[in-house]
Structure formats: structure tokens, C-alpha cells
């Protein structure tokens, strides 16, 4: 049922004060040790929380300055070290082919005999012929033999001395992010809308597929979960209590949408259950947001202050398979709420963290990153993170363009930067301070015109001792260890 203005006014008074979370973040700053920057007020905003106290509380967060890497790959704080797990063109799959390129979303699982299993997306769009290192077409694991993308499963021994890699799924396209399920599988998302006959594809793409890292047989004869819709998928999370799935769409012209899928009555989640669903099972819906005054909010970039709270109604998608019209274009401008560059998600603390990476001329208000928290109980979106436009992306120290995120076992968020110029992994504490964790020192440009690939897929090992992350180009998976400590 719709959320009434009176109900929302009551709830926003509570939610606007912030959600009390382990590993939550209030205001994300645009530079280490700074207080979050507000975007100049250019439009409609919602209920605003009290501003965080100015100044740093307690000791400076993080682990100190980053030390340049003599090997030219990864700068880390003193006491930290990294190890390369896979590298395109260097490491091999168990069948002898090169590790595929363009590493992206990643999830970690406890494997047998103390091993760690990592499912790694490879964001390869279009026909196989245009990529030197596509995901190999492993027998029985191929959806569309024309497509270059997919996932690999990396197994690391308890002491880290042995690594093996195999195909998890092949013949999919533009596997960007995704999400781990509570039942121990990975949902890999295609960030494309290509249909059969376009860009060399022989099947329709833009779907979600389930990959079981523990059982290769479970992924045979891959079948898309069409109930979750066909669009430029980015990430997905699962509400373990209600069974809802939340999904992001990275698209523009018009800007993309956040989605909620509600399972059909009586459906029980579990390994392999999603692929048994009918194509039209459940309800796929997009958000219609409004502020505490009941005013419709057309785009999430309208929020110019952290603590802004919007109520959310959910509007059913007319044609989730987008047979004639892309899903996001099936709504009028006043039907739903959009956002540019909806990227990573992470389920924690009873809700979903949702990233909007940046907004430019295609959006009502410009910014360099937002992280929202959706509370399913209150049906509210609260702006927890706001990055003002970075005036000098080439300067080390400022952060912009958040993408993949994870909640750290040591408190706060870990965020992969996909902005302009310098690229970091950085953390954000509960009280809103940020700190660098790593910097990509691998120059894939030239000495005169340097270029640095984005970080992707940050995720901690099941025991919390190792942070895994990727440099997307050319494709490097890294294991980062060091004196982790609680960030207060």
C-alpha cells in the first residue's frame, strides 16, 4: 500500500537522524580528515538531519599516508602489503587459457578445507573477437557463444600458496557488478541492453544469472532470471528477511532507476531456486520518491545535504523484458524517481546501501558521488554520503566517483573509486571522515599523459584478514593484508 504523507513525516523524523549501524557512514568527506562537502542548494530537498559535529573526534582515522610502490602497482600505508592473485596475460585458468581481462564485481565465500572462493566478474561487452582475453567457452557453461563476458571462480588455499581459477559462467556480456546471496551464491549482472542480432549477439542480453561457486554443475545450461528484468544491470542485493531483491541500473537518456523485485506468494529462496521462476514471476517495481512535504522528487541528485530523507512508493514496471521499449523509458517523467550512474550496492544493517556515482549535465544537480541507505521497514531513502564536484581529479588526496562498495568488519565503508584522474580504495568512518587505503600506481597511459584504471570489487575474506580488490584494466586481482584495526 502507498506510504501516506503523515506516515512518512513521522518516520522521516527518526530516519533523518541517521541509522544506527555497525559500519555505517553519516557524511562522507571529499578529502581525508575533512567534513563532508555540501552541494550548493539548487532544488528540492527532503527532511534534513542535524549536521554532524565539526572537526575530527578521537585519533585520525585510517592507517597513515600511502607509500609509492617501487613496482608501480599499488601504493599502501606502512605495514601493509599486497599479493597478485590473478593477472590477465600472466596467470592461467586450470584449462590453460589466460585469466580473462577487465575484472569487476567480486564476492568471497568460505570454501572447503579452509580455502577461500572468489567469484570474479569480467566486464567484456560485445563479440568475442574484439577481446584478446575473453572468458573461455567452457563446456556446458555457455549462454551465448558470441559473447565475451562471464565470471571466473578463483580458489585460494588456506595459506595462500596455491591459486587455481576456473570458469563459472561464459557467454554473457558486460558482467559489471552483482551481489552475493544469503544462500551462498553469486548473482552476476549484465550491464547491457543488446538484443539478438545487435553487436554480434545471438541471444538477448541484459539479464541476471546465478553462479554457484561451490558446485560447477549447478551453473550448467545457464538460464537468465528474466523475472528480474532486462536492462543495464549494475548490482543486486537480497533482503534476507522479506525476500525482496533490489537492483541498480547504470543508464542515462533518461537516467536509470533503482528497482525492487517482490517474490510471488509462497516462493522460498535457496540455491538454484531463482532459475525455476517463470519469466513474469513476482513484481518488478521502480521508486517514486517524495519529501516530507509530500512533494514529488524527480531525481536523487536533488538532495543537496546529507541526512536528506525521502519516502518511497514502488510503481510496477509495465514490461520488464523490454520487448519494444527500455524499462526506464516506460515511465513518464513524473511517474518515478531517477538517478545517474546507479552503481554498487551492499546489504548490511537491515537495509541496502546504494551508490550513485556522479551526476553531470544529464541530471538536475551536479555532484561527484552519493551513497543512500534504503530502510525497507520505514520505506525511506536517506542520503548518507555526498561528494561535491572534485575540482582537481588529478590531485592525490580528494576522492570522487564511488562505485563498488562493501561494509568493513572494522567499521565503516570501503569504497572503490571510479572517477577522473587518480584512483583509490578509500574508507569512510561512522562519523563521516575518510581515509585512503590504496592508490592505483599502474599507469596505463604515457609519462606525459598518465591514465589509471578504476578499482573494482572490494570484498573482505570470510575471516576478515584480507581485503581483495581489482584493478580493472588490464585485469589484476589483489590481496591486501596489514594491521587492520577498528576505525572509530
Asked if residues 213 and 187 have their Cβ atoms less than 8 Å apart, the reply is no
Asked if residues 230 and 203 have their Cβ atoms less than 8 Å apart, the reply is no
Asked if residues 48 and 308 have their Cβ atoms less than 8 Å apart, the reply is yes
According to CATH, the topology of domain 5-481 is Neuraminidase (2.120.10)
By residue count, the chain amounts to 488
Closest CA to 29 of 412, 294, 458: 412
State the sign of the Cα–Cα–Cα–Cα dihedral 212, 215, 216, 220. Answer: negative
Distance CA 114, CA 159 (A): 9
Asked if residues 91 and 155 have their Cβ atoms less than 8 Å apart, the reply is no
From start to end of 330-423, where are the E strands? 342-348, 351-356, 370-375, 380-386, 402-407, 413-417
Asked if residues 395 and 404 have their Cβ atoms less than 8 Å apart, the reply is no
Closest CA to 247 of 263, 265, 264, 229: 229
Tell me if the pTM is above 0.85. Answer: yes
Closest CA to 105 of 462, 484, 455, 440: 455
Domain extents for the chain?
Answer: 5-481
> β-strand 258-262 against 103-110: which pairing, if any?
unpaired
Chunked mean pLDDT (size 10), the chain, 488 residues:
53 37 34 35 36 50 95 98 98 97 98 96 96 97 98 95 95 98 98 96 98 92 97 98 97 96 97 96 98 96 95 98 98 95 96 95 94 96 90 85 95 92 89 86 94 97 97 97 92
- H or E element that contains 315: strand 309-316
In our burial notation (b when 16+ CB lie closer than 10 A, e otherwise), range 100-122 reads bbbbbbbbbbebeeeebbbbbbb
Dihedral angle at the C-alpha atoms of 143, 89, 107, 439, nearest 10 degrees?
-140
In our burial notation (b when 16+ CB lie closer than 10 A, e otherwise), range 284-304 reads bbbbbbbbbeeeebbbbbbbb
Percentages helix, strand, coil for the chain (3-state, rounded to 5) are 5, 35, 55
Q: How far is CA 172 from the centre of its chain?
A: 18
At 216, is the secondary structure helix, strand, or coil? helix
Asked if residues 455 and 468 have their Cβ atoms less than 8 Å apart, the reply is no
Distance CA 413, CA 262 (A): 27
Half-sphere exposure of 378 (CA within 13 A, CB side): 24
The pLDDT value given to residue 381: 98
Dihedral angle at the C-alpha atoms of 398, 402, 408, 412, nearest 10 degrees?
60
DSSP state of 50: P
Distance CA 337, CA 313 (A): 10
Q: Cα Rg for the chain, rounded, in angstroms? A: 21
Closest CA to 431 of 47, 56, 38, 30: 56
Asked if residues 178 and 121 have their Cβ atoms less than 8 Å apart, the reply is yes
Distance CA 463, CA 468 (A): 12
Residue 289, beta-bridge partner list: 297, 312
3-state secondary structure 400-427: CCEEEEEECCCCCEEEEECCCCCCEEEE
How many Cβ atoms from other residues are within 10 Å of residue 146's Cβ?
21
Amino acid at each position: 500500500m502507498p506510504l501516506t504523507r503523515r506516515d512518512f513525516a513521522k518516520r522521516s523524523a527518526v530516519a533523518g537522524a541517521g541509522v544506527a549501524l555497525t559500519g555505517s557512514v553519516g557524511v562522507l568527506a571529499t578529502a581525508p580528515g575533512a567534513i563532508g562537502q555540501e552541494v550548493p542548494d539548487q532544488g528540492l530537498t527532503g527532511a534534513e538531519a542535524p549536521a554532524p559535529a565539526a572537526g575530527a573526534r578521537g585519533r585520525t582515522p585510517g592507517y597513515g599516508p600511502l607509500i609509492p610502490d617501487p613496482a608501480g602497482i599499488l601504493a599502501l600505508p606502512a605495514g601493509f602489503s599486497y599479493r597478485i592473485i590473478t593477472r590477465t596475460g600472466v596467470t592461467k585458468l586450470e584449462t590453460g587459457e589466460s585469466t580473462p581481462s577487465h575484472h569487476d564485481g567480486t564476492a568471497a565465500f568460505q570454501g572447503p578445507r579452509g580455502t577461500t572462493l572468489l567469484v570474479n566478474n569480467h566486464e567484456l561487452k560485445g563479440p568475442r573477437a574484439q577481446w584478446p582475453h575473453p572468458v573461455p567457452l567452457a563446456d556446458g557453461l555457455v549462454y551465448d557463444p558470441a559473447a565475451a563476458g562471464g565470471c571466473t571462480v578463483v580458489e585460494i588455499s588456506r595459506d595462500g600458496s596455491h591459486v587455481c581459477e576456473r570458469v563459472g559462467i561464459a557467454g554473457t556480456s558486460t558482467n559489471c557488478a552483482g551481489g552475493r546471496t544469503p544462500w551462498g551464491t553469486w548473482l552476476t549482472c549484465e550491464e547491457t541492453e543488446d538484443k539478438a542480432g545487435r553487436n554480434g549477439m545471438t541471444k538477448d542480453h541484459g539479464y541476471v544469472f546465478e553462479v554457484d561457486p561451490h558446485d560447477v554443475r549447478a551453473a550448467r545450461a545457464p538460464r537468465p532470471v528474466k523475472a528480474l528484468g532486462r536492462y543495464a544491470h549494475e548490482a543486486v542485493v537480497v533482503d534476507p528477511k522479506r525476500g525482496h531483491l533490489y537492483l541498480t541500473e547504470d543508464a542515462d537518456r533518461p537516467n536509470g532507476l533503482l528497482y525492487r523485485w517482490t517474490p510471488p506468494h509462497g516462493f522460498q529462496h535457496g540455491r538454484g531456486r531463482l532459475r525455476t521462476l517463470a519469466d513474469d514471476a513476482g513484481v518488478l517495481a521502480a521508486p517514486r520518491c517524495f519529501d516530507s512535504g509530500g512533494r514529488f522528487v524527480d531525481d536523487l541528485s536533488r538532495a543537496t545535504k546529507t541526512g536528506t530523507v525521502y519516502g518511497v512508493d514502488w510503481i510496477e514496471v509495465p514490461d520488464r523484458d523490454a520487448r519494444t521499449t527500455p524499462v526506464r523509458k516506460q515511465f513518464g517523467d513524473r511517474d518515478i524517481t531517477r538517478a545517474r550512474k546507479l552503481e554498487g550496492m551492499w546489504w548490511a544493517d537491515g537495509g541496502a546501501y546504494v551508490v550513485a556515482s556522479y551526476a553531470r549535465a544529464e541530471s538536475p544537480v551536479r555532484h561527484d558521488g552519493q551513497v543512500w541507505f534504503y530502510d525497507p521497514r520505514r520505506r525511506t531513502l536517506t542520503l548518507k554520503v555526498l561528494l561535491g564536484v572534485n575540482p582537481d581529479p588529478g590531485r592525490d588526496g580528494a576522492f570522487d566517483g564511488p562505485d563498488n562498495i562493501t561494509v568493513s568488519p572494522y567499521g565503516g565503508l570501503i569504497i572503490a573509486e571510479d572517477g577522473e584522474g587518480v584512483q583509490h580504495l578509500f574508507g569512510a568512518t561512522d562519523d563521516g571522515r575518510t581515509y585512503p587505503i590504496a592508490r592505483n600506481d599502474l599507469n596505463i597511459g604515457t609519462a606525459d599523459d598518465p591514465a589509471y584504471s578504476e578499482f573494482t570489487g572490494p570484498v573482505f575474506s570470510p575471516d576478515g584478514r584480507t581485503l581483495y580488490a581489482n584493478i580493472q584494466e588490464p585485469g589484476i586481482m589483489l590481496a591486501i593484508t596489514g594491521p587492520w584495526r577498528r576505525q572509530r
